[in-house]
Amino acid sequence: MAVEASLSRARNAKNQKLEEALYLWLSDMSSKNAAINDQMLIEKAKNQGGKINITDFAYSRGWLARFKSRHNVTKRVYEGEAESADKTAVVKGREELKEVLKSYEVQDIFNLDETGLFFKLGQTMH
51-60 pLDDT, tens digit per residue, is 988 888 889 9
List the one residue out of 95, 82, 68 whose CA is nearest residue 1. 68
Q: Is 1 part of any domain?
A: no
Mean pLDDT of the chain: 77
Q: Supply the pTM of this predicted model.
A: 0.53
In this prediction, residue 46 has a pLDDT band, given cuts at 50, 70 and 90, of very high
Residue 82 maps to a domain = yes
Q: Judging by beta carbons within 10 Å of its beta carbon (0-12, 13-18, 19+), is residue 3 exposed, middle or buried?
A: buried
Structural domain range at position 43: 8-124
Does 43 reside within a domain?
yes
Please tell me whether residue 74 adopts helix, strand or coil conformation: strand
Query: Does a structural domain hold residue 3?
Result: no
Domain count, the chain: 1
pLDDT band at 24 (very low <50, low <70, confident <90, very high): very high
Q: Tens of pLDDT along 82-106?
A: 555 677 787 888 889 889 999 989 8
Give yes or no for residue 118 having a pLDDT over 60.
no
Q: In terms of residues, how long is the chain?
A: 126
Residue 42's pLDDT band (cuts 50, 70, 90): very high
Mean pLDDT across the stretch 12-22?
84
Q: For residue 67, tell me if it sits in a domain.
A: yes
In the chain, pLDDT over 70 holds for what percent of residues? 68
